[in-house]
A and B are shown apart, each in its own frame.
Chain A
């Protein structure tokens, strides 16, 4: 059974950093396209980043240059390093496995990131 479990969320001050983790089971992270999607409180879904099985990475303009997606094959875990955080980055962050191109087949339960002083 495919499972995704996010962790690492919390309260951080503006300008601070946070690293989110997404531990996967039931499949191999490195063999799949993996995405991060966020949802601000009371708002819609926003695509953040994707890493392809070959290692290519892509970012939404809103986070490019500040966020980095990566994976640890030995731990079968996906990461999102978030730097220079802003109030508008406050959201629940979901990791997802793309079972097909741009198809988020499996989702984690999400982890809340709050950027506030």
Chain B
């Protein structure tokens, strides 16, 4: 059960767009459309931002979008805002009926 691979950090200026990648294998990200993304602010519980690759839960800004190509999923945040500064984690269903998270990406809004 190896963790999915995410960049340790990304940064962008307010108003810009950033993309966070999440790379797995054909046994997880590439094999299923059950990729989700979570936002976590310091000291808080994670919050679901994207599910099933590209779906947004009610209440999540449409500035957040998700996609997948092969074994790599991506989270894009457009029109960066200061409040977007947080840690982001991807997660995927796996062929063993397990779940696996990415190592997390720290987003800094400059």
Closest CB in chain A relative to B29 CB, distance in Å: 11
Contact between A103 and B36, CB atoms less than 8 A apart: yes
CB contacts (< 8 Å) of A56 on chain B: these are 97
Known: A45-B38, A45-B104, A61-B1. A102 touches B46 (CB 8 A): no
In the complex formed, the residue of B with least CB distance to A61 is B1
Q: How many cross-chain pairs have Cβ atoms below 8 Å apart between A and B?
A: 69
Contact between A100 and B98, CB atoms less than 8 A apart: no
Residue from A44, A60, A102, A105 in contact with B57 in the complex, judged by beta carbons closer than 8 Å: A105
Digit string of B63-106 for contact with A (CB within 8 Å is 1, else 0)?
Answer: 00000000000000000000000010101110011111111100
Contact between B46 and A60, CB atoms less than 8 A apart: no
Instruction: State how many residues of chain B have any CB contact under 8 Å with chain A.
Output: 28
In the complex formed, the residue of A with least CB distance to B44 is A109
- Using a CB–CB cutoff of 8 Å, the interface residues on chain A facing chain B are 35, 37, 44-47, 50, 56, 58, 60-62, 94, 99-105, 107-110
CB contacts (< 8 Å) of B91 on chain A: these are 45, 47, 102, 104
Known: A100-B52, A102-B92. A44 touches B99 (CB 8 A): no
B18 CB-CB contact with A under 8 Å: no
CB contacts (< 8 Å) of A108 on chain B: these are 45
In the complex formed, the residue of A with least CB distance to B47 is A107
25 A-B pairs whose Cβ atoms sit less than 8 Å apart in the complex: A44-B89, A44-B101, A44-B102, A45-B38, A45-B40, A45-B101, A47-B91, A47-B101, A56-B97, A58-B96, A60-B1, A60-B98, A61-B1, A62-B1, A99-B48, A101-B93, A102-B32, A102-B91, A102-B92, A102-B99, A103-B48, A103-B52, A104-B38, A104-B91, A105-B48
